[in-house]
Amino acid sequence: MVSRSDNAFSPSRFGGRHPLEQIAGPSLAVTRTQLRIHRCLCALVLTLLFEGIVRKLAPAALGIGIFFLKDVIALALLFLCLPARRNAEATRWLRIMSVVLGLLSPCILWTAIRDPLLAVFGAKQYALFPIVAVAMCVAYLPNRFREFLTIFKLMAASLVVTTIVAIAQNRLPAGHWLNMSVGGEDLEGFSAGGYLRVSSTFPFVGQYCYYLNALCFCLPVLFCLQKARRKWMRTLLLIVLIGLAATGTFITGSRGSVIGNLAILSVGGVLAVILGRTKGAGQVIVALVVGAVLLGVLRTQHPEFFAAYETRVEGTSESSHLVEITKRVQSGLLDWTSGWDDAPPSLLGYGLGVMSNGSEKLSSYAAGWRNSGFWTETDQGTTFFEGGWYLVAIWYGFRFWVILETLLMVLKLRSSDARIAAGFAWGFILVIGVTGTLAIQPPLAIWWWLAVGLILCLRRLEKERVAEARNFTLLHNDRYF
């Protein structure tokens, strides 16, 4: 029997490296398909990170191609995963994707009557991006823990670049090319307190906010699972990355960024304390103290980073962040017919993808709705408008099932490190799954499925590690993961 105590295998026993790398022995030979999928996943993340700034620099003729590049990479992942030698986890979720696509078929056919190309686009919005979670299972299972962390290292490194660009935008005039929209429009009207609401390397502020929300689980994963040889290096990295993340969160001037991060970190923090116990509580307290100190220093030394945000929340001070979060959750659960004044209800809606960004470039039918000024804005209103109550039942039933399924996986994890990391990922899954615009914004959907894939991989990697530990009969009482 292998001990179930929380300190199974100390890194100090294995030369400071992560125990999973040592116990399982040499990594299994990586197949060409796994390597290609890994590279595609990294390319997908890089595309999300730098799409905006590349579109600003590239000729206008290439703009549409760059816009749809993330969809092309997601399709490449699908075609790589279909013939690949899959593990049980990947096979199961690929079947779930097939079931969802089958359930969506009435809405797809109804859309195809109006516009066949729009039907393909709309089906992609709802049913394609779960391939990110499937691809992670194919690429990193079994026993590819170090490669698994690559995406989260990439996210941490990108924080330096995105924050530097955001600070530059904050100090540059609105007419500078870096502050223009991807279409070349001046965004001076999109400012508050005399400072532009910056978008960093992303096409618009919302996508920057999605990325900052995703950092709420990406950074804890790295801190929990990437073992540093020197504690002072780990502490310094913690301070730098939290400071950069805090700067990015407020410099956007977006309440969605601040409130979204607060909600995700609150849920993740509670889970970390409950599941990680003393260790989880200690890490949460340290992060809170570091964050509070850094926020105080930044607000004092660089008030310009907070000017747009503080201006936008003036007049709403009586509404606390907790009240704002509650209102947004209530809206996410109850406000299904927002913006429906100009369109009567329909049994199967008005067509998948009609309200999604980019659909007007492909479909005259979608362009007609968009040009009329009709816009549902919320994910709930979009789902109801595009597919009626049938799509509401399918799409939200699926999302709530994913939320519950991933929670059960988090609760089954044994090690404190894995539980804390997965807890923050589940916080993101819960908050975005209830309130996020997953049917409208592919970038947000990709971050969401990245969090799902993280939990799937952690659960399976831990099972593999425990099985290998039994084979090596290492019966000590340190930590599992």
Concatenated DSSP letters of 107-150? HHHHHHHH-HHHHHHHHHHHHTTTHHHHHHHHHHTTT-HHHHTH
* Nearest-angstrom CA–CA distance, 158 and 167: 14
* Nearest-angstrom CA–CA distance, 169 and 198: 6
pTM greater than the 0.85 cutoff: yes
User: What is the average pLDDT score of the chain?
Assistant: 82
Q: Is the pLDDT of residue 338 over 80?
A: no
* Nearest-angstrom CA–CA distance, 403 and 428: 10
> Where residue 294 falls among pLDDT bands split at 50, 70, 90?
confident
Other Cβ atoms less than 10 A from the Cβ of 266: the count is 16
**Domain ranges for the chain:** 11-472
Single out the residue of 475, 481, 465, 474 nearest to residue 143, CA to CA.
465
331 vs 288, higher pLDDT = 288
Residues 6+ apart with CB under 8 A from 26: none
Which structure tokens are listed for 471?
A: 């084979």
Residue 354 Cα to chain centre, angstroms: 23
* Nearest-angstrom CA–CA distance, 257 and 253: 8
Which structure tokens are listed for 468?
A: 């290998």
Buried b or exposed e, range 382-407, using 16+ CB within 10 angstroms: bbbbbbbebbbebbbebbeebbeebb
- What digits encode the pLDDT tens for the residues 432-478? 998 888 988 999 999 999 999 999 999 888 877 766 655 544 444 44
Q: Which of 37-51, 88-102, 232-246, 419-433 has the lowest mean pLDDT?
A: 232-246
pLDDT attached to residue 176: 86
Could you tell me whether strands 195-196 and 191-192 are parallel, antiparallel, or unpaired per DSSP bridges?
antiparallel
